[in-house]
Amino acid sequence: MPGGRVVVAFPGGSSDWELSFSRVEGFTQTLQDTFGVKMVNSPEEVAEQCDLIMITSVDGRVHRELFERIAGYGTPVFIDKPLTTSWADARAIQECALSSGIRWFSSSVWRYTSNLLQVVDDSNSRNVDGPLEVYLEGPWPLEAGRHGRFWYGIHAVEVLYSVLGTGCCSVKTNRKGDVEIVSGVWSNGRKCIFSCQHEVQRGFSGLIKREDRIFPFETIDTAEDRYAGLLRDLIAFGVGGDAPVSNEETIDGIAFMEAACLSGEMDRPFDLSGVMEGVV
């Protein structure tokens, strides 16, 4: 992508998660040998030498610590999905950013598929008055531990929030074998139903239902449709542009994820206010 170049990196990795530590060596070698990226010994050294920082650890549990370590350098930051694996950590990142004057954003690449962007525009889902319902089907492969649910489940939540925006009040998760049904209710009467398949690899598809019309969609899985769009916005953000996804929306999505996990564990609806107040 024109407008930016990766120049320096710190190879981290989580020693207790194979999906993380098993890939660090390969990524490091590719960056060094193919792209000539300099490796350093700490995130702070990266921050000293960059105009824009990308926190790309697959493990959302470590994002808060990494962000807090580099916040004092004043450099804008992109945090890969999931932002965190708890609302408390997400809120802590925002508080640190506000106190340090740091600009940041986080996003799933699935927000950038052209079909999804088009249907959000056609349906005017972010602005239309009146009832609105979203039905979504897609993958949700699992890894051990609750953080493993955030790892890929965040993609579906980002798709839902790209259509509905903030304001979810409560979530209910129902399990049936390898399929879970996650339903959410928004403060303005909007609703979502997400059917997630743990064993099937596929894209996302669904429909947006307004009072007067139905808008079906299916996401496209190509590098141009997903990664290129994100990188264009990322580079524009790095030189002073607005965050393409608001911090409020990202943090709200993490609360949705935590409520969905708690609902599945407790077999009852769970309010997002309970997540934010620490009430289980």
pLDDT attached to residue 277: 83
Per-residue pLDDT tens over the stretch 227-275: 999 999 999 999 999 999 999 999 999 999 999 999 999 999 999 998 9
84 within domain boundaries: yes
3 within domain boundaries: no
Work out the pLDDT band at 223, boundaries 50, 70, 90: confident
Residues 92 and 214 in one domain: no
Residues 37 and 164 in one domain: no
2 within domain boundaries: no
Q: What is the mean pLDDT of residues 55-69?
A: 97
Q: How many domains in the chain?
A: 2
pLDDT attached to residue 224: 80
Q: What is the DSSP letter of 243?
A: P
Which alpha helices (H) appear in 36-86, and where do they start and end?
43-48, 63-70
Residues 56 and 171 in one domain: no
Distance of CA 36 to the CA centre of its chain: 29
CA distances from 73 to 11, 101, 245 (A): 19, 10, 22
Q: Is the pLDDT of residue 174 over 90?
A: yes
Tokens of 136: 């979504």
Q: Is the pLDDT of residue 178 over 80?
A: no
Residues 151 and 19 in one domain: no
Q: What is the sign of the dihedral through the CA atoms of 66, 71, 72 and 75? A: positive
213 within domain boundaries: yes
Distance of CA 132 to the CA centre of its chain: 23
Q: What is the mean pLDDT of residues 162-189?
A: 91
Q: Is the pLDDT of residue 177 over 80?
A: no
Q: What is the mean pLDDT of residues 186-208?
A: 88
Per-residue pLDDT tens over the stretch 7-52: 999 999 999 999 999 999 999 999 999 999 999 999 999 999 999 9
User: Can you tell me the distance from the alpha carbon of 64 to that of 224, in angstroms, rounded to the nearest whole number?
Assistant: 30
Element (H, E) at 229: helix 229-238
pTM as predicted: 0.95
Of 56-70, 77-91, 130-144, the poorest mean pLDDT is in 130-144
pLDDT attached to residue 276: 86
**Are the CB atoms for 17 and 151 separated by under 8 Å?**
no
Kindly report the number of other CB atoms within 10 A of residue 71's CB atom. 20
Residues 190 and 90 in one domain: no
Residues 91 and 126 in one domain: no
Give the closest residue to 192 by CA, choosing from 260, 94, 116, 261.
260
- What is the CATH classification number for the domain harbouring 96? 3.40.50.720
Work out the pLDDT band at 60, boundaries 50, 70, 90: very high
Q: Which domain holds residue 263?
A: 110-221+254-277
Q: Is the pLDDT of residue 220 over 90?
A: no
User: Can you tell me the distance from the alpha carbon of 160 to that of 13, in angstroms, rounded to the nearest whole number?
Assistant: 29
71 within domain boundaries: yes
User: Can you tell me the distance from the alpha carbon of 230 to that of 223, in angstroms, rounded to the nearest whole number?
Assistant: 10
Residues 137 and 153 in one domain: yes
User: Can you tell me the distance from the alpha carbon of 219 to that of 138, in angstroms, rounded to the nearest whole number?
Assistant: 10
DSSP labels, 173-191: EEEETTEEEEEEEETTS-E
Q: Is the pLDDT of residue 279 over 70?
A: no
Q: Is the pLDDT of residue 222 over 90?
A: no
127 within domain boundaries: yes
249 within domain boundaries: no
User: In the predicted model, what is the mean pLDDT of the chain?
Assistant: 93
Residues 214 and 125 in one domain: yes
- What is the CATH classification number for the domain harbouring 212? 3.30.360.10
Residues 266 and 193 in one domain: yes
Residues 153 and 264 in one domain: yes
CA distances from 222 to 3, 78, 107 (A): 21, 21, 17
Residues 101 and 233 in one domain: yes
Residues 150 and 213 in one domain: yes
81 within domain boundaries: yes
